[in-house]
Structure 1
Amino acid sequence: MKSKPDPVQLDSWDVRILSEIQADGRISKSELAKRVHLSASACSERLRALKAAGIIEGFYARLSPALIGGMIFVMVEVVLDRHRLEDQRHFETAIQEIPEILDCWAIGGRVDYLMRVASPSMAAYQDFMEGLLQAGLGIDQYYSLVVTKPVKSNSPIPLSALRQR
């Protein structure tokens, strides 16, 4: 079982850097240094350390689903038929390789997992879910919640509270 990493102590310079790159992941190192009021070398060193510590997991482009041919998104609540640790690990390992599953969270409450699934249509989504049920992942029940419109998504992590440290 994976253990959670210990949180890294961030100072106000780190928080400023992280805030800026969350807002603009394509910012140049020199512009970043200007915005956070550090020398370019000090800023680069801090950026390297934040990456090495695993705080910065990567950079990506946010795409517009509507402009790339449209997609539907479905939040899927999943209940496993068995709740042994090996069953959870089997499910969690298997879904890592499924590109349609954009996110998956283990949660407490009446369901075991909450997934965000992308699909080109409702018919394709239904076929996808039928395939998951046949794949031997241990899914007992699932509940589909169709996203009708995005209201807020891909928000940066609020770092303002960290500045109080």
Structure 2
Amino acid sequence: MHKLDRYDLKILRILAEEGRTTKSALAEAINLSVTPAWERVRKLEAAGLIKGYRAQIDWGALFKSQQVLVEITLARHTAQDMRRFEERLASAPEIAFCYATGGGVDYLAMVRARDIDHYQRFIDQLLLEDLGIERYFTYIVTKTIKTDEGSVPAELIADQ
């Protein structure tokens, strides 16, 4: 991939905020004609910078559920232990997101469960699978303040 220019960065910012924008609206927003704008989108996709497009569903409006944040620390930090743990969480439909972190804990994950009992059964299953979990701390989400993953602060890309 070539070095990103201001057009590429604008495209990424626009698509992150509104993935369903039309080709013509995108071209107009970045001040290019449709064909060159869309060629840039295809290059960004081919380079892996655009991973995909999807709808943000408010599952909570459809189904009663409980969101739980979990801090997880592993007993051992070998590449094999971490890979096995990460692969297991990546394949679990209950996991909304999981981040490896530096600092006091190894991972921070969001679990979506029907209720607290469902969450605890999920955690118990992970413990039974001997994934090397040394300890975990549970935080019940009581209110969602913001979940927007699409917006990017202008300052973040201003110096690019």
When normalised by structure 1's length, the TM-score is 0.89
1:158 is aligned to 2:144: no
Q: CA deviation at 1:158?
A: 1.8
Letter in 2 for 1:44: W
Supply the distance in 1 between the matched residues of 2:52 and 2:115 (Cα, whole angstroms): 29
1:122 is aligned to 2:116: yes
* Counterpart selection for 1:87 from 81, 91, 94: 81
1:141 is aligned to 2:135: yes
Supply the distance in 1 between the matched residues of 2:152 and 2:39 (Cα, whole angstroms): 23
Q: CA deviation at 1:164?
A: 3.4
8 Å CA contact 1:78, 1:111 repeated in 2: yes
Tell me, what secondary structure is at the counterpart of 2:125? helix
Q: CA deviation at 1:157?
A: 4.6
Q: CA deviation at 1:102?
A: 1.4
Q: 1:153 to 1:8 in 2, by over 3 A?
A: farther
* Counterpart selection for 1:68 from 62, 71, 87: 62
Moved more, 43-52 or 57-66: 57-66
Count matched residues.
159
Q: CA deviation at 1:97?
A: 1.2
Tell me, what secondary structure is at the counterpart of 1:74? strand
Q: CA deviation at 1:22?
A: 1.4
Q: 1:8 to 1:57 in 2, by over 3 A?
A: farther
Deviations 1:86-132 (A, max 9, x none): 11111112222111111111111221111111111111111111111
**Identity of matched residues, %:** 36
Supply the distance in 2 between the matched residues of 1:92 and 1:55 (Cα, whole angstroms): 22
8 Å CA contact 2:81, 2:132 repeated in 1: yes
* Long gaps (5+) in structure 2: none
Q: 1:82 to 1:45 in 2, by over 3 A?
A: same
Moved over 2 A (4+): 154-157
Q: CA deviation at 1:159?
A: 5.1
When normalised by structure 2's length, the TM-score is 0.91
Supply the distance in 1 between the matched residues of 2:2 and 2:67 (Cα, whole angstroms): 34
1:13 is aligned to 2:18: no
Cα RMSD of the aligned pairs, angstroms, is 1.7
* Long gaps (5+) in structure 1: 1-6
